[in-house]
A and B are shown apart, each in its own frame.
Chain A
Amino acid sequence: MQETDTTLLPADAATENPVVGIDQSAGNFSYDVKYEFDAGSGLSERVVEYISSVKKEAPWIREFRLNALKTFLSRPLPTHWATRDLETIDFSKIRYYLSSGQKPKRSWDEVPADIKRTFERLGIPEQERKFLAGVEAQFDSEAAYSNVKEAVSKQGVIFLNSSEALKEHPEIFRRWFGKVIPTGDNKFSALNSAVFSGGSFIYVPPGVKVAHPLQAYFRINAENFGQFERTLIIVDEGSEVTYMEGCTAPKFSTSTLHSAVVELVAMKGAKIQYITVQNWASNVFNLVTKRGLAHEASEIKWIDCNIGSRLTMKYPGVVLKGRKSRGEVISIALANDGQHQDTGAKMVHAADETTSNIIAKSISVGQGRSTYRGLVHIPKHLKGCKNNTECDALLINTNSRTDTYPAITVRGAANRSQHEASVSKVSEEQIFYMRQRGLTEGQAMSLSVNGFINDLARQFPMEYSVELKRLIDLEMEGSVG
């Protein structure tokens, strides 16, 4: 284990906060929604049972939840390696379930006006909505709107929210649910397993290539309300799918907790691409477990972009179970003042000739902190495995901070790994050069940051890379004095 602490110390004693007045207005709104079901605050067996009964779940799910609760309560917080900021989460003050009691909608006309208004504020363009192959937009705990285009269902693709899928397709669901990420994987996967609600379920039958990305928009809309989505995507032999997930959250004064679990299963020769752009409000704890299981000659690619939140801990992973399978993580993180992006990737090689690729870029602004944690494991008995890890950090201000913790275990002479890391700072000469061409300091910073991540941003679908650029522009507006 190699550790590098590359904090740049302030150049002078006057370390006043250079990041003030960050415009987060894009996420700073919320509308009244009546909650039909409310589990109240705090976590207990009673709350878990309440959630299960409201959802009219089968007994095995109820048992699953109750067992998960025990695991959650018995586990300590992972503060022996992660930040102590986790200790400030008051689990007794969190509301674990809210529902507007709405059935998912099939057509746009049936969607309530206030929810449409929220979508408008989120800036989802009209033509994009029409273009989407399927929309699964989670409004609080339940999907308020879901529209799977006919073309997709004609191909036999199942695209539902998790609660519906549990009822309608229990045989597929149960086979894979909790298998990639067991309840006891970590404290927060256990929490999710106890109280999960919403999230997506996708099944793509063999030999089907889903042409358009499937999308879901998530949004937290209640104070002190944690979101615990559970997403399960199974792509059968030779099939392909791209899933996109994006979040903006309203700004609230008290902390909110978001703890999702996402499990992917790629069968032989399948391809899954999972794309996330997150822009959480700066009081959100975003503690997410994401992992994929790659069977023979399959590919799983996580493209993950984290902006905002108070603390994000997320290390998308791939278990390379089948020969010649391939895993990839492309990660972008931007930590602004008061934010900590603790992100990275996990690659577990478990078969010959498996390859993994990790490219992580982080940007630390003001007193923002970014941490890269990577785990690559290639055991001795395997042959022909390859890993490539690159992590680059960009520091904007002299008091910005970045840390890198790459843990790469490669045993056996027949395997290869390469690792590159860099830390750079936006240079004053570069900023002056751009200002001499008429750009304000903020515009210059923004352009510089966008350039830094440009090679990764290009891997996002068009509308996401545009959104990403807009988010970065907003973040960088406040980064200069």
Chain B
Amino acid sequence: MPSILEIANLHVSIGEKEIVKGLSLTIKSGEIHAVMGPNGTGKSTLSKAIAGHPDYTVTGGDILLDGKSILQMEPDERARAGLFLAFQYPSEIPGVSIANFLRAAVQSHMGEGEELDATAYYKRLYQKMDLLKIDRKFTSRSVNEGFSGGEKKRCEILQMAMLEPKIAMMDETDSGLDIDALRIVSAGVNELRGPNLGVLLITHYQRLLNYIVPDYVHVMWDGRIVKSGDKSLALELESKGYDWVKKELVTA
């Protein structure tokens, strides 16, 4: 069943400070939306607020998943409803292996009374790891502990692959990656791309979009989307720079 995430005139504050100031965006299954913009414009705040981070307060507007508001839902309820956030800075969980963490996460997505079948779980895990070209030994390591930037992002993509979300938000997935790591991670995302997944891709740089080609590009400035277009908008932005946004789009 196709899904739809609707962000309607959303206002988000951290403490007293308003960061997102009336943002609207609709993402459907099968679509990749890139949100671009300079640092401090509210991109990460948008993704954290959608995921339900307790530090971010929604002061206006609504977020609907398949027509139903998620604002009253706990972060874990939102996750179980099919929202996934690939973190810019994923937390370390010392002493907890990726295999065990993922197992707990997969179990949490199952219905009450349903028991995870360990054999089937490992079979699926190894399948996804092969798909993402991840070494088998990787899953016995503690989650994100001592990982390189590339390993952290691959770990995020692996989790995304296992949890099969309806809508995935990817926050600066390209940050901290060298070109080889960027290629590998992007190839992973492209493997997961398909008619059942909608993606919100947050990035500062156009280069990620050479590897993950978006259907739509939105330019964010001061808590709002100021211009939307197709992938050519990203190239235009790249050549003209964010000054162009500031001068032409914001004042327009």
Contacts and interface: CB of A to CB of B under 8 A. Distances in A.
Contacts of A443: 104, 108
How big is the B interface, by class? 20 to 34
Contacts of A444: 76
B96 A450 contact: yes
Contacts of A448: 93, 96
B45 interface: no
B94 A435 contact: no
A454 B143 CA distance: 13
Contacts of B121: none
Interface stretch (A26-34, A57-65, A206-214, A425-433): A425-433
Interface string B46-80: 00000101110000000000000000001110111
Interface string A422-452: 0000011110111111111101100110111
Contacts of B78: 436
Contact of B96 (A429, A438, A454): A454
Main secondary structure of the interface of B (DSSP, over half): mixed
Contacts of B142: 451
A432 B79 CA distance: 11
Contacts of A454: 94-96
A438 B95 contact: no
Interface stretch (B12-20, B83-91, B205-213): B83-91
A455 interface: yes
B45 to A, nearest CB: 14
Contact of B76 (A440, A451, A452): A440
A438 B94 contact: no
Contacts of B95: 450-455
Contacts, number: 79
B105 interface: yes
Given A451-B94, A452-B95, A455-B95, A436 B79 contact: yes
Contacts of B100: 447
Contacts of A439: 76, 104-105, 108
Contacts of B53: 432
Interface centre among A435, A447, A450, A453, by most chain B C-beta atoms within 10 angstroms, is A435
B67 to A, nearest CB: 22
B96 A433 contact: no
B21 to A, nearest CB: 24
SS class, residues of chain A in contact with chain B = helix
B103 to A, nearest CB: 10
Contact of B104 (A427, A432, A447, A452): A447
A432 B87 CA distance: 11
Contacts of B92: 430
A439 B104 CA distance: 7
A369 B105 CA distance: 31
A432 B90 CA distance: 10
Contact of B109 (A438, A452, A453): A438
B96 A447 contact: yes
Contacts of B159: 437
B27 interface: no
B94 A452 contact: yes
A438 B80 contact: yes
Contacts of B101: 434, 437, 447
Contacts of B104: 437, 439, 443, 447
Contact of B163 (A430, A438, A450, A453): A438
Contact of B105 (A430, A438, A455): A438
Nearest 7 interchain pairs by C-beta: A451-B95, A454-B95, A438-B108, A451-B96, A437-B105, A433-B91, A435-B75
Given A447-B100, A448-B96, 6 more contacts: A433-B93, A435-B76, A436-B87, A441-B74, A441-B76, A444-B76
Interface of B: 51, 53-55, 74-76, 78-80, 84-85, 87, 90-96, 100-101, 104-105, 108-109, 142, 159, 163
15 contacts: A430-B91, A430-B93, A432-B51, A432-B91, A434-B105, A436-B75, A436-B76, A436-B79, A437-B79, A437-B159, A438-B80, A438-B108, A443-B108, A447-B104, A454-B94
